[in-house]
Structure 1
């Protein structure tokens, strides 16, 4: 027992140090992250001490997007519109493509595909744009990150607010859903027949030389293949910087291949007012 109390003391000290090592993270409207400890939140500013420092700073709330506390709690501040550094009149005729939602066989965790479809949609529109400037997806994603928008909290923002964050007049948002459907089987049998032709002849003495019989040989081979079919459904929406939905359409692909979404994306893009006929 005499060793138990010192052990508990050092365990408590270790856990305390671990907790103290965790930082609050303040995300500013210019994209900077401040790591340290928020000591107080006032009406117009917060009091903040940087990690491994003792000097206390006052940071205006107008410069803060959110605070992620060491406990995991997140507090948002209504300053996200300042991230774009643009006025509404500068948004005119500018379009951003958001990362598409992607569901395959009810799984939604494929971040690579959401960006891939975003880029493919951008390419389709950019090649057929009508007096519109399409924002590069890398710029779009960077601005979203700087504003603190993630898949977990983006539903807390209106599409009008997202337009203002990205500095565009319109955003294109969509969902691609792919599900396994039927399996198609195919079998084929090939038969090869080889004939031994009559190669007999009569020599000068009237004797028959060679084989006068007709023989044939038949070989057969068969193979089976199966193809997995998919059903593809895509929803595409366009919103303006006022939050209005100016286009909405859903379409199921006729094709049953896994990459049929590409054809369907092109089909839906042609239906939008952005596409040059």
Structure 2
């Protein structure tokens, strides 16, 4: 069951990465209204550009005055104007060294609807990176979630956005995204036996004034033993975490999958720290 689950997660990650690689082959125009155009820049004039959408053939003329930036398929970015601050509250040129952590995907015993845990893990990941931020500025998760909500991005439609688009919406250069998978495995039983022994005090011997022995001569040295046994059980869990880092061009610059050695329900906390230390944005 665990191997099948890990295989499904790996396949989903591969599909996601191939989707982003395919999108990276297009030129992306971000307009001052926040609209994005994906396709190919054919020609750049003094005040306009000629553009064709991906999988289409009709050429469009776009004014440079309506463009914030063009992210070319080569990875080069050219800025033109600033975003319309009436509908957006960030400046794309200020992305540098800013990092946002998205709510983590959370899967426990195949249940995926725990929004509280998604945000809890997001906050814990933020705390891990914040302690080693160095020159990077990590966006508070409350700000991240508010900006996502204002943009209408939620768990149901986030798959329709590229990581580059989300980075632009959040106004950051890097995004931390991940998945925590926890599943019940074995049950371990523990038992403990407690034994107490004491001498039988009612059978002590003594001699009276006439020289007669008083007491139970046969049982005087016997001891009384009591035993009690206590048993407990512990449910074990398998915890697997995938962590990804994307830049504002939508490129995956780090991905790593790790299964926790520990078998407790909170083993994900140790594993988060293990993975965070191996990312390029964790400054030692």
> TM-score normalized by structure 2?
0.66
1:248 aligns with 2:252: no
1:187 aligns with 2:191: yes
CA distance in 1 between counterparts of 2:236 and 2:210 reads: 71
Deviation readout 1:224-276 (Å, 9 max, x if unpaired): 21110000000000000011111111100000000100000011011112223
Change (3 A) 1:80 1:251: farther
Aligned residues of 1:84 and 1:164 also touching (Cα < 8 A)? no
CA distance in 1 between counterparts of 2:170 and 2:119 reads: 17
Q: After TM superposition, give the deviation of residue 83 of structure 1 in Å.
A: 5.3
Structure-1 residue corresponding to 2:222: 215
Q: After TM superposition, give the deviation of residue 216 of structure 1 in Å.
A: 1.5
CA distance in 1 between counterparts of 2:102 and 2:146 reads: 11
When Rg is computed on C-alpha atoms for both structures, the one with the higher figure is 1
Change (3 A) 1:124 1:81: farther
CA distance in 1 between counterparts of 2:198 and 2:85 reads: 80
Q: After TM superposition, give the deviation of residue 81 of structure 1 in Å.
A: 11
Q: What SS class does the counterpart of residue 181 from structure 1 fall into?
A: strand
Aligned residues of 1:238 and 1:246 also touching (Cα < 8 A)? yes
1:170 aligns with 2:179: no
Show structure 2 runs of 5+ residues with no match.
1-32, 35-65, 67-82
CA distance in 1 between counterparts of 2:282 and 2:234 reads: 35
1:1-277, aligned counterparts within 5 Å?
A: 84-196=88-200, 199-202=204-207, 205-212=210-217, 213-277=220-284
Q: What SS class does the counterpart of residue 126 from structure 2 fall into?
A: helix
CA distance in 1 between counterparts of 2:181 and 2:87 reads: 32
Aligned residues of 1:82 and 1:165 also touching (Cα < 8 A)? no
CA distance in 1 between counterparts of 2:102 and 2:151 reads: 14
CA distance in 1 between counterparts of 2:150 and 2:253 reads: 27
Q: What SS class does the counterpart of residue 186 from structure 1 fall into?
A: strand
Q: After TM superposition, give the deviation of residue 130 of structure 1 in Å.
A: 2.2
CA distance in 2 between counterparts of 1:83 and 1:100 reads: 27
Change (3 A) 1:272 1:80: farther
Deviation readout 1:43-102 (Å, 9 max, x if unpaired): xxxxxxxxxxxxxxxxxxx9xxxxxxxxxxxxxxxx999854333220110000000000
Structure-2 residue corresponding to 1:42: none
> TM-score normalized by structure 1?
0.67
Show structure 1 runs of 5+ residues with no match.
1-28, 31-61, 63-78
CA distance in 2 between counterparts of 1:201 and 1:180 reads: 65
